[in-house]
Amino acid sequence: MQNQPVLITVIGPTAIGKTALAIRLANHFNCSIISCDSRQFFKEMTIGTAVPSPEELAAAPHYFIQNISIHDAYSVGDFETEALAQLDQLFQENPIQIMVGGSGLYVDAVRKGLDNFPDIDPSIRESINARYAIDGLPYLQATLQELDPQYYQKTLLENPQTLQNPQRMKRFVEVCLGTGQPYSSFLGKKETNRPFRSIIIGLEAEREELNQRINHRVDLMMAAGLLKEVSDLYPYRSCNALQTVGYRELFDFLDQKCSLEEAIENIKMNTRRFAKRQMTWFKRTPEVHWFNYSTDFATLLEQLHLRLK
């Protein structure tokens, strides 16, 4: 094994079995798990984000699980800083650590770093906020489409949910207006050397099989009390953290916009779409070692040890 510590990252779409594999790896290497699933950061969200069970959390030390509130401001940059600091401590105990999650941007932030953006005049942010208060999301969407059509189309295809996120959209427009350049022109330029070696394991499945796993998981979530969890969060439904699959659809039911059966089917459909977008992101990462989710653990471990040498 090389002198540098090693971060083994487990990625893949939702419902593929990442948590179970991460725990087996953590037990094998006697190390900890850094979670980079951005939906599992929030204390108030448990069932709908598939937070590891108490038994799973007890099986290996976990970090960044339900560590903040839906009311807290927390960015991918905050996570990058805190995760790297935590890894620095953990590597002193064990030169191998595990990271797991389905949030591609957060995985990349830890492994490679975020892109650098120039400072923007605060007056531009104020003017965007003022215009947004009058014209809402359509203003932000139309402005991004005009100033950075390439990034708009990319987002539309890979992560359309982002186009419904006011904070993210304001940031995109702010950079475009503040620099006079497309937001996308600042992406992919930063080269960051990390003090650890990175190995990525990807789990995948045939589309139909993954869809069945997703549908089954949603049924289990409903049986576990997802509707009550969402009902309890209804007063805070405008929080950005709650603008996500599994919550939005049940808010629609509570608002009497659809039946419960329709809401459940919409959760399944939108989760399948979410999984497809996750795989689109991850497949762009060339260094991933892909395994079928049903691969025998011993076989996977053998391949992993070859890469650790």
Binding-site residues, please?
Answer: 12-19
Q: Could you give the CA distance from residue 59 to residue 46 in angstroms, rounded to a whole number?
A: 18
List the CATH code of the domain at 6-114+190-308.
3.40.50.300
CA Rg value for the chain: 20
Q: Name the class of domain 122-186.
A: mainly alpha
Task: Say what the pLDDT of residue 191 is.
Answer: 62
Q: Is the pLDDT of residue 2 over 60?
A: no
- Strand partners for 198: 7
Q: Could you give the CA distance from residue 286 to residue 271 in angstroms, rounded to a whole number?
A: 25
Task: Say what the pLDDT of residue 152 is.
Answer: 93
Mean pLDDT, the chain, as a whole number? 93
- Strands ordered across the beta sheet of 96-100: 62-63, 33-35, 96-100, 6-11, 197-204, 288-292
| Pick from 296, 250, 274, 302: nearest CA to 103 | 274
Q: Are 169 and 144 in contact (CB under 8 A)?
A: yes
Domain limits, the chain: 6-114+190-308, 122-186
Which one is predicted more confidently, 229 or 187?
A: 229
- Tokens read off for 38: 């951005």
Task: Say what the pLDDT of residue 121 is.
Answer: 79
Q: Are 87 and 34 in contact (CB under 8 A)?
A: yes
Q: Is the pLDDT of residue 1 over 60?
A: no
In which region does residue 44 sit, left (phi positive, over 0), alpha (psi from -120 to 50) or beta (all else)? alpha
| Pick from 61, 115, 105, 110: nearest CA to 84 | 110
Task: Say what the pLDDT of residue 158 is.
Answer: 79
Q: Are 70 and 241 in contact (CB under 8 A)?
A: yes
Please give the angle made by the CA atoms of 7, 201 and 114, to the nearest 5 degrees.
55
Binding-site residues for substrate, please?
Answer: 14-19
CA 127 vs CA 143, 152, 174: distances in Å: 13, 21, 9
Q: Are 22 and 33 in contact (CB under 8 A)?
A: yes
- Tokens read off for 244: 């996500």
Q: Are 124 and 178 in contact (CB under 8 A)?
A: yes
What's the rounded mean pLDDT across residues 17-44?
A: 97
Q: Is the pLDDT of residue 180 over 60?
A: yes
| Pick from 101, 83, 109, 111: nearest CA to 39 | 101
Which one is predicted more confidently, 241 or 83?
A: 83
Binding-site residues for ATP, please?
Answer: 12-19
Task: Say what the pLDDT of residue 190 is.
Answer: 66
- Tokens read off for 170: 């304001």
Task: Say what the pLDDT of residue 19 is.
Answer: 97
Q: Are 247 and 271 in contact (CB under 8 A)?
A: no
Task: Say what the pLDDT of residue 43 is.
Answer: 97
